Amino acid sequence: MKSYKKISLVSLGCAKNLVDSEILLGGLKKENFEFVNKPEDSDVIIVNTCGFLDTAREESVDTILECGQIKNSTNVKKLLVMGCFSERYGDDLVKEMPEVDKFFGTNDHSIVLSYLTGKKYKKDDPDYYRSILTPKHYAYLKIAEGCDNVCSFCSIPSMRGLQVSSTLENNLIEAQRLADNGVKELLLIAQDTTSYGWDLNPKSSLHDLLDILDNIDNIDWIRLHYAHPAHLHKEVISRFSTLNKLVPYIDMPTQHGSDVVLKNMRRGLSASGIKKRIDALREANNDMSIRTSIIVGFPGETDKEFNQLYDFVNEVKFDRLGVFEYSEEEGTHGAEAFTDDVPKAIKKERREAIMMLQQKVNYKKNIDRVGSIERILVDVVNDEGWSLGRSYRDAPEIDNYVKINQKLEVGNMYDVKIDKAYEYDVEGSLIDE
Residues 217-271: pLDDT tens digits? 999 999 999 999 999 999 999 999 999 999 999 999 999 999 999 999 999 999 9
Please classify residue 215 by burial: count the beta carbons closer than 10 Å to its beta carbon, then call 0-12 exposed, 13-18 middle and 19+ buried.
exposed
What CATH number corresponds to the domain at position 347?
3.80.30.20
Q: Nearest Cα to 399, choosing from 301, 282, 318?
A: 318
Radius of gyration of the chain, Cα coordinates, nearest whole angstrom: 22
Q: What is the pLDDT of residues 327-343, one digit of tens each?
A: 998 888 999 999 999 99
What is the spatial distance between Cα 326 and Cα 97, in angstroms, rounded to a whole number? 28
Q: How many domains does the chain have?
A: 3
Residues 242 and 104 in one domain: no
Average pLDDT, the chain: 92
Helix (H) or strand (E) holding 267: none
Residue ending a domain, among 107, 126, 145, is 126
In-domain check, residue 1 = no
Torsion angle, alpha carbons of 11, 155, 153, 61, to 10: 40
Q: What is the pLDDT of residues 43-77, one digit of tens each?
A: 999 999 887 777 888 888 899 899 999 999 998 99
Q: What is the pLDDT of residues 259-289, one digit of tens each?
A: 999 999 999 999 999 999 999 999 999 999 9
Q: What is the largest CA-CA distance in the chain?
A: 63
What is the spatial distance between Cα 411 and Cα 378, in angstroms, rounded to a whole number? 5
Residue ending a domain, among 84, 101, 126, is 126
pLDDT higher than threshold 80 for residue 202: yes
In-domain check, residue 11 = yes
pLDDT higher than threshold 80 for residue 3: no
Residues 310 and 394 in one domain: no
C-beta contacts of 87-93 below 8 A and 24+ residues apart: 87/51, 87/159, 87/160, 88/51, 88/155, 88/158, 88/159, 89/51
Which residues form the domain of 39?
6-126
Residues 27 and 49 in one domain: yes
What is the spatial distance between Cα 196 and Cα 166, in angstroms, rounded to a whole number? 8
**Cβ partners under 8 Å of residue 139, min gap 6:** 132, 178, 183, 185, 186, 187
Strand, helix or coil at 394? coil
In-domain check, residue 151 = yes
Residues 375 and 281 in one domain: no
Q: How confident is the model at residue 132 (pLDDT cuts 50, 70, 90)?
A: confident
Strand, helix or coil at 104? coil
Of 143-152, 153-162, 187-196, highest mean pLDDT: 187-196
pTM of this prediction?
A: 0.90
Residues 324 and 395 in one domain: no
In-domain check, residue 277 = yes
Residues 180 and 69 in one domain: no
pLDDT higher than threshold 70 for residue 126: no
Residues 17 and 135 in one domain: no
The answer to whether the beta carbons of residues 181 and 136 sit under 8 Å apart is yes
Residue ending a domain, among 70, 105, 126, is 126
What CATH number corresponds to the domain at position 35?
3.40.50.12160
For CA atoms 115, 117, 122, 127, give the dihedral sign: negative
Q: How confident is the model at residue 130 (pLDDT cuts 50, 70, 90)?
A: confident
Strand, helix or coil at 433? coil
How many C-beta atoms surround the C-beta of residue 371 within 10 A? 9
Q: What is the pLDDT of residues 351-394, one digit of tens each?
A: 999 999 999 999 999 999 999 999 999 999 998 999 999 999 99
Alpha helices by DSSP H, listed for 134-198, are 156-160, 168-180
What is the spatial distance between Cα 223 and Cα 189, in angstroms, rounded to a whole number? 9
pLDDT higher than threshold 50 for residue 1: no
Residues 139 and 264 in one domain: yes
CA angle 248, 249, 255 (to 5 degrees): 140
Q: What is the pLDDT of residues 292-322, one digit of tens each?
A: 999 999 999 999 999 999 999 999 999 999 9
Strand, helix or coil at 378? strand
Residues 337 and 374 in one domain: no
Residues 134 and 121 in one domain: no
* pLDDT on residue 122: 67
